Amino acid sequence: MREVSVDRIREEVKRLCIEGAYILEEDVQSALKSAFEREVSPMGREVLTQIIKNYEIALDGVLPMCQDTGIAVVFVEVGRDVRLDGSLEDAINQGVREGYGEGYLRKSVCHPLTRQNTGDNTPAVIHTRITEGDRVKIKVALKGAGSENKSSLKMLNPTAGVEAIKEFVTDTVREAGGSVCPPIVVGVGIGGDFEKSAILSKEAILRPIGRPHQDETIAGLEEELLEEVNKLGIGPMGFGGTVTALAVHIEVYPCHIASLPVSVNIQCHADRHKEVVI
């Protein structure tokens, strides 16, 4: 049994929140540069130039890359041979609290009805899983509302099949248009039940761009959907072009014989996610 201090977890969550706001992961940077090379629209290329420049300014100045610094979504895997010396949830929320405070990040979390701001961007949205081993893995995503608001879930008829799934995904992106700040990453969750499909779609956007699904059939569907989405012509920031999405990632899970849940979670070009293993 290995003991892990929740104080260490707090420190790491704080760091991930601060760094996530201004340091773009290498896979996203590479995808944006590749998108610039592929984009045929002059306006689209100019927009991508400005997007890339914005990230460089954020990094150089230690400044948030977007004014919407998001709601903190935290996926935690705790090895069964780990013993924590305190509350995991309290440590994560304290890390978010300190990260958003010390990083001077906008606090955007409020009561859903009164709209009273909580003042420190907590509580975070926390998903916890028990795994093998003696390590704690933490993934933090700073999820902005613009792209989240255009995400969608549909309970398809179980006989609908792949074509219905493809239609739902492309329709969701089409309806979102330029309001989700493309080029986007599209996360698709297929299966499970109502809430599981949504969690799968959120996990899907955290997968590094350029890493296809390990199942060849699913990976093939990812490629097909990416092609279909980019055919929509929405383009960077909705000004038209050939690159609407940087990637489509799919995660699947067995479901009930009488249902086919499908969720689409959209991530804007400010694809802010960080992770650490303790």
pLDDT in tens, 7-48: 999 999 999 999 999 999 999 999 999 999 999 999 999 999
pLDDT above 90 coverage of the chain, percent? 99
What band does 175 get if pLDDT is binned at 50, 70 and 90? very high
pLDDT in tens, 192-249: 999 999 999 999 999 999 999 999 999 999 999 999 999 999 999 999 999 999 999 9
Residues 6+ apart with CB under 8 A from 149: none
User: What is the reported pLDDT for 61?
Assistant: 87
Class (C level, CATH) for 2-22+65-143:
alpha beta
List, as own/partner pairs, every contact residues 49-53 make where C-beta atoms lie below 8 angstroms and the sequence separation is at least 24, other chains included. Answer: 51/236, 51/237, 51/269
Sheet holding 125-131, edge to edge: 125-131, 71-79, 136-143, 273-277
Domain ranges, ordered by start, for the chain: 2-22+65-143, 146-271
Q: What is the 3-state secondary structure (H, E, C) of the chain?
A: CEEECHHHHHHHHHHHHHHHHHCCCHHHHHHHHHHHHHCCCHHHHHHHHHHHHHHHHHHHHCCCCCCCCCEEEEEEEEECCEEECCCHHHHHHHHHHHHHHHCCCCCCCECCCCCCECCCCCCCEEEEEEECCCCEEEEEEEECHHHHCCCEEEEECCCCHHHHHHHHHHHHHHHHHHHHCCCEEEEEEEECCHHHHHHHHHHHHCCCCCCCCCCHHHHHHHHHHHHHHHCCCCCHHHCCCCCCEEEEEEEEECCCCCCEEEEEEEECCCCCEEEEEC
Query: What dihedral angle (degrees, nearest 10) is formed by the CA atoms of 14, 20, 22, 27?
Result: 150
Structure tokens at 60: 């150089």
Q: Which residues of 235-267 are buried (b: 16+ CB within 10 A; e: fewer)?
A: bbbbeebbbbbbbbbbbbeebeeeebbbbbbbb
pLDDT above 70 coverage of the chain, percent? 100
Mean pLDDT of the chain: 97
Query: What dihedral angle (degrees, nearest 10) is formed by the CA atoms of 195, 196, 199, 200?
Result: -150
